[in-house]
Chains A and B, each alone.
Chain A
Amino acid sequence: MSGHSTYEPSIGLTRWLDARLPIIRLLHDAGVSYPVPRNLNYMWTFGGILSMMLAVQIITGIVLAMHYTPEASMAFSSVEHIMRDVNYGWMLRYLHANGASMFFIAVYTHMFRGLYYGSYKAPREVLWILGVIIFLLMMATGFMGYVLPWGQMSFWGATVITNLFSAIPVVGSAVTNWLWGGYSVDNPTLNRFFSLHYLLPFMIAAVVILHIWALHVVGQNNPSGVEVKDFDKDTVPFTPYATVKDGFAIVVFLIFFSWFAFYVPNYLGHPDNYIPANPLVTPAHIVPEWYYLPFYAILRAIPSKLGGVIAMFSAIIVLAFLPWLDTSKVKAATFRPIYRMFFWVFVLVSLGLGYIGSQAPTDGTTLVGRLFTIYYFAHFLVVLPLLGLFEKTKPLPASIADAVLAKNAATGRA
């Protein structure tokens, strides 16, 4: 995809700038003339949606930070001050809290798209790994952000998760006290979480730039899984085609976002977080935000504390090895009928793990959680390596253009 730049500055000013800092050339090459496969479906619009959500979170977050106080005795009150007295504070707060959920809905859709179409396979391994890094940074950012209102769930969720570090052999306890800034989650913890919560989104932005750079070097995958062979036949320029399609998807996504932010803003939250944090009262059920639930289920499935921590982190780290675990040479599940079945089972298992994570740990939920955890790892460590060796795949189209022509012939389109 890194071909010759087609940008030709026509007026004096742009020629002058191009000779000194070719930023317009960069934007033109990346966003105007950049070739994208012509057969991309709407599953490819989530990258644009995610970029927009990162901007929304940063902008609402920076304004919220002007009114928020990161001190244990004042944090909860400062959030109520934002909700009641700050002009449009209620909107900023609800956009930011629901925006985080929207960010995760978009990122999970984006990741499952990658899983289905084999977007992690060569030559996109680095692109995929950068994505895993972004995901980890997002999880850290979201976790710290949820602590800031200093409600019951903020405090106790922080207590549960930071306590996990004490499972590390030898140094665990010392590391945890160092993280806390004391002997339990308290004001020092809140203060530093605020600092890091402000910092991490900018690290996310930096890794996103690398992610987009890595993407532009190799080009997008596409629903057929067949790489671009002829630029004229297989691709269209990013502008206006992908620009308007991404734009449309973003507007539809904003409608979905607005449903939550304006009409049911506390739907995805937990009512206990409207109770100010009390170190002396433990909530009946400590649960993280919904986007952590599958990993929470995996954590609780393993009977040992250290084992649970290792399993939980491994559940994310295993994603980084996906390009090498999946041995199939065929990318898209469209042409891998057996893999397609396993993919949907994996989706159900992930949703199931999420459900288990939301429930109290009883005999029934623990058993089911363990079965699902075993399946989750088996999908990556057993199914994917073996499937590539034995699966009989469907014949691939010769090119993207052929795939498009075949599809249009089937639907009777010109």
Chain B
Amino acid sequence: MLKLKTTFLAAVGVSAMLLGQALAQEAAHHNAVPERQNWTFAGPFGTFDKAQLQRGYRIYREVCSNCHSMKYIAFRNLADEGGPSFTEAQVKALAAEYKVKDGPNDSGEMFDRPGRPSDYFPMPFPNEQMARMANGGGLPPDMSVLAKARTYHRFDYFPMDVLSAIWDLVTQYHEQGPDYIVGILNGYEQAPKDFKLDGANYNKMMPGNKIAMAAPLSDGQVDYTDGTPKTLPQYSKDVAAFLMWAAEPKLEERKKTGFRAMLFLLVFAGFVGFLKKRIWSNVAH
């Protein structure tokens, strides 16, 4: 019996190694793996840093919004709980800086009016074709859920990809999107010699290393009024945090509710478990 068990376990072990070998052959990534950042919104008790979100909004508005829409965010969301927490007055002012096309009025004409808090962020281009024309054929993606639409793989091969996935589940690592975005924004560099760019830009984080977008941010580009360093890595982090809020505005509420749910369930499980043991104590089983 022991010999059979040993042979069986050996067979499983060898197969796993062979599987790992077979799959590792194809593992080579040519793009770098983004660094894990420290996010205030990570973990079971994570919250957004309001000042960071406000800086991130500033970057979005001054730089990114020239090409990237964010159509699921309205100005009023900037005043919502769990977000950048601008005041109502600030939101009114921010919205009013835009001219919005509205109508038709009673004469049947379209007209311009200043933006209102209930308006959604304006689209930088009237249609996809113009967006492509202005961006060398590439379409800048809408940023409303971009932070949830991106990820990266730390390990491409078995068994590390499985083990790291289990570890991510246990440690609640759910910030792959923002980490990737920071990686991309910080990842622009000179292409290696002989690398064919064909009009694209070289980015060490981008799968395939070619990205249509030119480096959008650089040191000193956006004015911070709260003393935060005006460096590229800082900008990348702030705008990535803002994008995470835009993608998951209910993040804080979700984690808070989760804590209450878990606490209740753990206590309830304790009670029901005790009751179960008590009820079963008088029968043989």
Contact = CB atoms under 8 A, between A and B. Distances in A.
B25 interface: yes
5 contacts: A241-B283, A251-B265, A271-B148, A275-B141, A345-B12
Contacts of B26: 360, 362, 364-365
Contacts of A272: 149
B272 A365 contact: no
Nearest to B176: A271
Contacts of B207: 284
B285 A404 contact: yes
B84 interface: no
Interface of B: 1, 4-5, 8, 12, 19, 22-23, 25-26, 44, 72, 77, 141-142, 144-146, 148-151, 158, 162, 168-169, 172, 174, 176-177, 207, 247, 249-250, 253-255, 257-259, 261-262, 265-266, 268-269, 272-273, 275-276, 279-280, 283-285
Interface in A393-414: 401, 404-405, 408, 414
Contact of B158 (A265, A276, A355): A355
Contacts of A254: 265
Contacts of B284: 38, 401, 404-405, 408, 414
Interface in A228-272: 236, 240-241, 244-245, 247-248, 251-252, 254-255, 258-259, 261-267, 271-272
A83 interface: yes
Contacts of A83: 250
A234 to B, nearest CB: 11
A405 B265 CA distance: 34
Contact of B22 (A367, A405, A414): A367
A39 B262 CA distance: 30
Interface of B is mostly: helix
Contact of B250 (A90, A266, A401): A90
Contacts of A341: 4-5, 8
Interface of A: 38-39, 77, 80, 83-84, 90-91, 94, 236, 240-241, 244-245, 247-248, 251-252, 254-255, 258-259, 261-267, 271-272, 274-276, 284, 337, 341, 345, 348, 352, 355, 359-360, 362, 364-365, 367-368, 401, 404-405, 408, 414
Given A263-B174, A263-B258, A352-B19, A80 B285 contact: no
B285 A91 contact: no
A368 B19 contact: yes
B254 A90 contact: yes
Contacts of B150: 271
Contacts of A401: 284
Nearest to A37: B285
A252 B269 contact: yes
Nearest to B162: A355
A247 B272 contact: yes
Contacts of A91: 254, 257
B265 A258 contact: yes
Given A244-B276, A267-B174, 19 more contacts: A77-B72, A80-B72, A80-B144, A90-B250, A90-B254, A236-B285, A248-B269, A248-B273, A251-B268, A255-B262, A255-B266, A258-B258, A263-B172, A263-B258, A264-B172, A364-B26, A365-B23, A365-B26, A367-B22
Contacts of A264: 168-169, 172, 174
Nearest to A247: B272
A251 B23 contact: no
A259 B8 CA distance: 35
B194 to A, nearest CB: 25
Nearest to B283: A236
B275 A271 contact: no
Contacts of A244: 272, 275-276, 279-280
A182 B220 CA distance: 54
A81 to B, nearest CB: 8
Contacts of A414: 284
A378 to B, nearest CB: 15
A84 B177 CA distance: 19
B149 A262 contact: no
A245 B12 contact: no
Contacts of A38: 283-285
Contacts of B12: 345, 348
A263 B262 CA distance: 10
Contacts of A77: 72
Contact of A368 (B1, B22, B258, B276): B22
A352 B144 CA distance: 36
Nearest to A152: B149
B199 to A, nearest CB: 19
A275 B1 CA distance: 54
A368 B24 CA distance: 13
